[in-house]
């Protein structure tokens, strides 16, 4: 560019349409996280179970090994996604804890909302970052594993018996992804410290599990499994995959708990995200 052009010039380009404005936020969030080496390592580690499961499918279908743990059925896919909850937990902390809290700390919301961006765009944009990164170790490999199982199967019997599994994989993954995403986003919107948000997320997860342990010990019953965040997700996973629920607590309670977490979280985040904080 010639030196005389390095000044202010008017711009007469085309505008993008507003309905996709949230994608700008999501894309930027993804790009920023992808630059962090530690996060990339975490994402790569989260792919190891996928590789192992892929090998299991290969051995079970192509080689013909018949060990009981190599049985490819609905439980195989459910176990895989449940197993990925471990990585989803750390990814949620790493990717989500600073998503809103860092913006609050840097007073970035004034910048966002001085642009043609609504609060809904902002929340969906930030949620999109988490949905993207939490889907990578759950939904995406779950669907790929199913595809592998279909491709390696000697006939169409597997597909005829398990045609509904992709829907279950999607549904169970979304339950986990949305629950984790909204809990961490809520906590992130309540503080200016990403570290504090991350610690709180871990506390919510483990405290609810400890509470379940204490209550089930006192009451000598596992019917209180719904007090644990992780148990509720697993309980719903069992139901979605048409497997006997692992806890005796009613499934509808887990549905309500998860819906309250998702809905309440979305409400809190939407209300916490303001261009200016007005003290009334």
- Give yes or no for residue 14 binding another protein (CB under 8 A): yes
Q: Which residue from 107, 155, 217, 218 is in contact with another protein, where contact means CB under 8 A? A: 107
25 scored as a contact of another protein (CB under 8 A): yes
Distance CA 63, CA 170 (A): 28
Measure CA 40 to chain center: 16
Choosing from 40, 41, 65, 115, the residue that interacts with another protein (CB under 8 A) is 115
255 Cα distance to chain centroid: 17
Give the interface size with another protein as a residue count (CB under 8 A).
39
Contact criterion met (CB below 8 Å) for 63 and 167: no
What tokens were used for 237? 């996973």
Residue 68 makes contact with another protein by CB under 8 A: no
Among 21, 53, 126, 272, binds another protein (CB under 8 A): 21
Is 59 a residue that touches another protein (CB under 8 A)? Answer: no
Interface residue with another protein, options 19, 68, 116, 154 (CB under 8 A): 116
Min dist CB 28 to another protein, Å, is: 6
Interface with another protein includes 280 (CB under 8 A)? yes
Backbone angles phi, psi at 246, to 5 degrees: -80, -15
Q: How far is the CB of 274 from another protein (least distance, A)?
A: 8
Nearest to 169 by CA among 135, 212, 120, 124: 135
Q: Which region, judged by CB under 8 A, interacts with another protein, from 5-13, 52-60, 152-160, 237-245?
A: 5-13
**Using CA of residue 113, residue 115, residue 121, residue 122, what is the dihedral sign?**
negative
What Cα–Cα distance (Å) separates residue 17 from each residue in 12, 113, 114, 117, 123?
16, 17, 17, 12, 18
- If one asks whether residue 275 binds another protein (CB under 8 A), the answer comes out as yes
Shortest gap between Cβ of 112 and another protein (angstroms)?
Answer: 7
- The whole-angstrom distance between residue 127's C-alpha and the CA centroid of its chain comes to 9
Contacting positions for another protein (CB under 8 A): 5-11, 13-16, 18, 21, 24-25, 28, 32, 98, 102-103, 105-108, 110-118, 274-276, 278-280
């Amino acid at each position: 560019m010639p030196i005389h052009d390095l000044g202010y010039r008017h711009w007469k380009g085309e505008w993008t349409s507003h309905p996709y404005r949230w994608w700008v936020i999501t894309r930027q969030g993804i790009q920023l996280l992808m630059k962090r080496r530690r996060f990339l390592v975490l994402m790569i580690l989260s792919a190891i179970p996928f590789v192992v499961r892929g090998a299991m499918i290969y051995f079970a279908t192509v080689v013909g090994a018949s060990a009981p743990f190599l049985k490819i059925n609905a439980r195989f896919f459910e176990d895989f996604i449940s197993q990925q909850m471990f990585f989803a937990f750390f990814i949620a902390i790493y990717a989500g804890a600073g998503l809103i809290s860092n913006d609050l700390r840097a007073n970035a919301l004034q910048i966002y909302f001085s642009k043609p961006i609504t609060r809904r765009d902002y929340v969906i944009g930030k949620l999109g970052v988490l949905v993207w990164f939490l889907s990578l170790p759950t939904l995406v490999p779950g669907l790929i594993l199913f595809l592998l199982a279909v491709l390696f199967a000697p006939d169409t019997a597997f597909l005829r018996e398990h045609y509904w599994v992709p829907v279950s994989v999607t549904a169970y993954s979304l339950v986990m992804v949305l629950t984790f995403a909204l809990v961490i986003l809520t906590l992130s919107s309540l503080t200016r410290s990403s570290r504090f948000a991350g610690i709180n997320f871990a506390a919510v997860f483990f405290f609810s599990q400890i509470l379940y342990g204490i209550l089930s010990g006192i009451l000598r019953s596992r019917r209180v499994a719904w007090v644990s965040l992780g148990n509720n997700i697993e309980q719903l996973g069992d139901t979605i995959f048409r497997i006997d629920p692992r806890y005796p607590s009613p499934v509808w309670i887990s549905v309500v708990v998860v819906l309250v977490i998702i809905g309440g979280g979305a409400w809190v985040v939407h209300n916490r995200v303001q261009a200016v904080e007005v003290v009334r």
